[in-house]
Amino acid sequence: MTTWSLRRRPGRTLGLLLLVILSFLVIRSWLLQDSGMKLRTTYKGFTEAVDLYFDHLMSRVVPLQYKHGGPIIAVQVENEYGSYDRDPAYMPYIRKALEDRGIIELLLTSDNKDGLKKGMVHGVLATINLQTREELQLMNTFLVSVQGIQPKMVMEYWTGWFDSWGGPHNILDSSEVLETVTSIVDAGSSVNLYMFHGGTNFGFINGAMHFHEYKSDVTSYDYDAVLTEAGDYTAKYSKLREFFGSFSDAPLPPPPKPLPKMTYEPLIPVVYLSLWDVLSFIGEPIKSEKPINMENLPVNEGNGQAFGYILYETIITSSGTLSGVVRDRGQVFLDTVSIGFMDYKTTKIVIPLIQGYTFLRILVENRGRVNYGNNIDDQRKGIIGNLYLNDSPLKKFRIYSLDMKKSFFQRFSIDKWTHIPDVPTFPAFFFCGFVIGSSPSDTFLKLEGWEKGVIFVNGQNLGRYWNIGPQETLYLPGPWLFRGNNQIIIFEEVMAGSVIQFTDTPYLGRNQYIH
What percentage of the chain has pLDDT greater than the value 90? 84
Mean pLDDT across the chain: 92
Could you tell me where the DSSP H helices lie in 89-199?
90-100, 133-138, 144-147, 174-186
Catalytic residue among 78, 105, 135, 156: 156
- Three-state DSSP at 175 gives helix
Q: Which residues contact 249 (CB under 8 A, 6 or more apart)?
A: none
d(CA 474, CA 465): 8
Q: Where are the beta strands (DSSP E) in 420-476?
A: 428-436, 443-446, 452-457, 460-466, 473-476
Task: Answer yes or no: is pLDDT of 131 > 80.
Answer: yes
The CATH-assigned architecture of domain 284-405 is Sandwich (2.60)
d(CA 62, CA 41): 24
Q: Binning pLDDT at 50, 70 and 90, where does residue 5 land? A: very low
Rounded average pLDDT over 108-113: 94
Q: What is the DSSP letter of 139?
A: I
Asked whether 447 and 509 are in contact (CB, 8 A), the reply is no
Q: Quick: pLDDT tens for 333-373.
A: 999 999 999 999 999 999 999 989 999 999 999 999 998 87
Catalytic residue flag (residue 242) = no
Task: Answer yes or no: is pLDDT of 289 > 80.
Answer: yes
284-405 against 407-513: fold identical: yes
Beta bridge partners of 191: 6, 154
Tell me, what's the pLDDT at 371? 84
Render the burial of 366-390: b for 16+ CB within 10 Å, e for the rest: bbbbbbbbeebbebbbbbbeebebe
Asked whether 278 and 459 are in contact (CB, 8 A), the reply is no
Catalytic residue flag (residue 80) = yes
Task: Answer yes or no: is pLDDT of 15 > 60.
Answer: no
Q: Quick: pLDDT tens for 247-273.
A: 999 999 999 999 999 999 999 999 999
Q: Which residues contact 27 (CB under 8 A, 6 or more apart)?
A: 39, 369, 371, 376, 379
Tell me, what's the pLDDT at 374? 78
Catalytic residue among 78, 80, 105, 493: 80
Tell me, what's the pLDDT at 27? 54
pTM score: 0.93
Domain boundaries along the sequence of the chain: 2-245, 284-405, 407-513
Tell me, what's the pLDDT at 43? 97
Asked whether 490 and 443 are in contact (CB, 8 A), the reply is no
d(CA 53, CA 101): 12
Asked whether 64 and 70 are in contact (CB, 8 A), the reply is yes
CATH topology of domain 2-245: TIM Barrel (3.20.20)
User: Is the domain covering 407-513 a CATH 1.10.1040.50 domain?
Assistant: no
